[in-house]
Amino acid sequence: MRRPQRGGSKLREQLSNHDKKGEAVEHRESIHGEWSSRWVFVLAAAGSAVGLGNIWKFPYIAGENGGGAFVLVYLLCIALVGIPIMMAEVLLGRRGRRSPINTLRFLTQEGHHHPAWEYLGWAGVVAGFLILSYYSVIAGWALSYLVWHITGTFQGIDAAGAQQFFADLTGSPERLLAWHTIFMVMTTLVVARGVRSGLEQAVRVMMPALFVLLLVLVGYAATTGHFGEGLAFLFTPDFHRLSGNSVLIALGHAFFTLSLGMGAIMVYGSYMPHGASISRSTLMIAGADTLVALLAGMAIFPVVFANGLEPGAGPGLLFQTLPLAFGQMPWGSLFGALFFLLVTFAAWTSAISLVEPTVAWLVENHGFTRAWAALATGLAAWVLGLATIFSFNIGADWTLFAHCQIEAGVEVCSGGKTAFDLLDYLTSNIMLPLGGLVIALFAGWVMQRRLVQEELRLYGKGFEVWYFVLRYLSPVAMIVVFLGAIGIL
Ligand code: PHE
């Protein structure tokens, strides 16, 4: 990134300039700097989007929600809701050129709108912080698997053995805490130093490498003799298996996987060069993200079926299946180590974007240096991460919303949600889609059409179609999904 001057004074000056003249200052640049080109924006945003959501979460929620029909709904959500809202989020960021909180403040002042829209920025900061707290714990699992592959632990392992390794890891709060701490320190360090060329360079190499390795894994999956079964599970829709709640999970995941609804993409948009095309960049980011998720599913499910495992195994799915594949293929330890290195890296570039909106705001409004802002945010999320750590061991039965019945005089409860389940459900399925809905309403109904079009630089039919989808289709689809999930429809 190029960095112009630092500090909050330029921001205050811009805000007051703007007040005096009553119009926007054109061609502004963020005080935090700007990506060196459109490509760097695409890479950084793809780095944010492609993460644990694609490789860890997508396969296991597809497995839990019955496969094909869920995948189809997820793809529809990406196309009809995710992509249009991503364009809106980037354009708000680029117009505001500030942290999401200040961008919303600026845009509401610019258009003399109600100040309540500013809460969107605040909700995003809270959501990012909640997500980071558990994201870091799961990324810690990937780190631990990286080390296990380096030491050749999984050579020739069977399904029961792989499950045991996972159970031992998640059963130990000390080990989870150690890996969570390492990952949080990694994230804080990069954010503290700024999203500089080191990271840009690394993303350039790591992203294509991840892609190639996924192809290798899909190639291996094709040799298991259960490839067809895996593909049929992922791509043959059976709508009987789809509940209202599954549809909400698919919608929530579309937001989660594209990093939408909490300001991560907005803040990256605020560092985007002025002339770059938002619509083309967005299509590339969403396309890459979807491809990675589908490849991960195609690599995992054949292994699941070949080893008689359960597709609905939950959050451990990736970690219980891929070691089997790596344990059996030639050069497995090497490929396994490389794969988990890339997963760690993908998680790292996503975690950074979860903190960036908060850090940018602390720097702008509270005179923090980047380093202190990163430390404060990282530390707070690290502490909250304990709730997720304990969800897998000593706190596994500290649950809410369990269904309890009396069976033979004894109360039996099931389906309770742990702290991790609650954090995940609240952020992905409620906060991010609501954030996205507010973004759609703000860009589609509140901001002046002229300003929106000017920032998007999209004219003719393309603009009309996008604008219609953003104003009507996306919000209505989201409201229908919400109502469906709470059982009203
Ligand atoms: N998109 C990231 C993933 O798929 C997670 C994320 C969500 C990152 C929200 C930033 C904001 O792993």
Centre of ligand 1 from the C-alpha of residue 83, in Å? 15
Using a pLDDT cut of 90, give the percent of the chain over it.
73
Q: Which atom of ligand 1 is nearest to the CA of 432?
A: 9
pLDDT > 60? residue 392: yes
Write the residue with the smallest CA distance to atom 9 of ligand 1: 259
CATH architecture of 35-384: Up-down Bundle (1.20)
pLDDT > 80? residue 202: no
Q: Which residues make Cβ contacts (< 8 Å) with residue 184, sequence separation at least 6? A: 136, 378, 381, 382, 385
The mean pLDDT of 319-338, rounded to a whole number, is 90
Centre of ligand 1 from the C-alpha of residue 12, in Å? 31
Q: Which run of H or of E encompasses 157?
A: none
pLDDT > 50? residue 7: no
- What is the C-alpha separation between 301 and 304, in angstroms, rounded? 5
Pocket of ligand 1 (CB under 6 A): 48-49, 51-54, 131, 256-257, 259, 262, 264, 350, 353-354
Q: What is the mean pLDDT of the chain?
A: 90
pLDDT > 50? residue 428: yes
Centre of ligand 1 from the C-alpha of residue 48, in Å? 6
Centre of ligand 1 from the C-alpha of residue 187, in Å? 14
Q: Which residues make Cβ contacts (< 8 Å) with residue 201, sequence separation at least 6? A: none
Centre of ligand 1 from the C-alpha of residue 211, in Å? 18
Centre of ligand 1 from the C-alpha of residue 91, in Å? 19
pLDDT > 90? residue 199: no
pLDDT > 70? residue 18: no
User: Which of 30-39, 333-342, 380-389 is the least confident region?
Assistant: 30-39
Write the residue with the smallest CA distance to atom 6 of ligand 1: 259
Write the residue with the smallest CA distance to atom 7 of ligand 1: 259
Centre of ligand 1 from the C-alpha of residue 47, in Å? 9
- What is the C-alpha separation between 369 and 363, in angstroms, rounded? 6
Q: What's the pLDDT tens digit per position in 115-138? A: 999 999 999 999 999 999 999 999
Structure confidence at residue 96 (pLDDT): 93
Q: Are 200 and 2 in contact (CB under 8 A)?
A: no
Structure confidence at residue 39 (pLDDT): 87
Q: Are 137 and 389 in contact (CB under 8 A)?
A: yes
Centre of ligand 1 from the C-alpha of residue 307, in Å? 30
Helix (H, G, I), strand (E, B) or coil at 413: strand
Q: What's the pLDDT tens digit per position in 81-95? A: 999 999 999 999 999
The mean pLDDT of 315-327, rounded to a whole number, is 94
Cα dihedral 277→282→288→292 (10° resolution):
160
pLDDT > 50? residue 399: yes
Pocket test for ligand 1, best of 129, 266, 350, 432 (most atoms within 8 A of CB): 350
The mean pLDDT of 453-478, rounded to a whole number, is 95
- What is the C-alpha separation between 380 and 131, in angstroms, rounded? 12
Pocket test for ligand 1, best of 54, 77, 137, 354 (most atoms within 8 A of CB): 354
pLDDT > 80? residue 362: yes
The mean pLDDT of 133-151, rounded to a whole number, is 97
Structure confidence at residue 328 (pLDDT): 87
Pocket test for ligand 1, best of 60, 74, 257 (most atoms within 8 A of CB): 257
* Stronger pLDDT, 489 or 183, i.e. the higher one: 183
Token pair in block for residue 309: 């495992």
The mean pLDDT of 440-451, rounded to a whole number, is 96
* Type of residue found at 90: V
Pocket test for ligand 1, best of 352, 353, 359, 430 (most atoms within 8 A of CB): 353
Q: Which run of H or of E encompasses 312?
A: none
Write the residue with the smallest CA distance to atom 11 of ligand 1: 259
- What is the C-alpha separation between 118 and 177, in angstroms, rounded? 35
Centre of ligand 1 from the C-alpha of residue 256, in Å? 5
Token pair in block for residue 54: 């694609």
pLDDT > 90? residue 36: no
Residues paired with residue 411 on neighbouring β-strands, in sequence order: 406
The mean pLDDT of 37-64, rounded to a whole number, is 93
- What is the C-alpha separation between 196 and 356, in angstroms, rounded? 13
Pocket test for ligand 1, best of 78, 125, 255, 256 (most atoms within 8 A of CB): 256
Contacts for 111-115: CB closer than 8 Å, 24+ residues apart: 111/446, 111/447, 111/448, 111/451, 113/446, 113/447
Structure confidence at residue 198 (pLDDT): 56
Centre of ligand 1 from the C-alpha of residue 189, in Å? 19
Q: Are 85 and 264 in contact (CB under 8 A)?
A: no
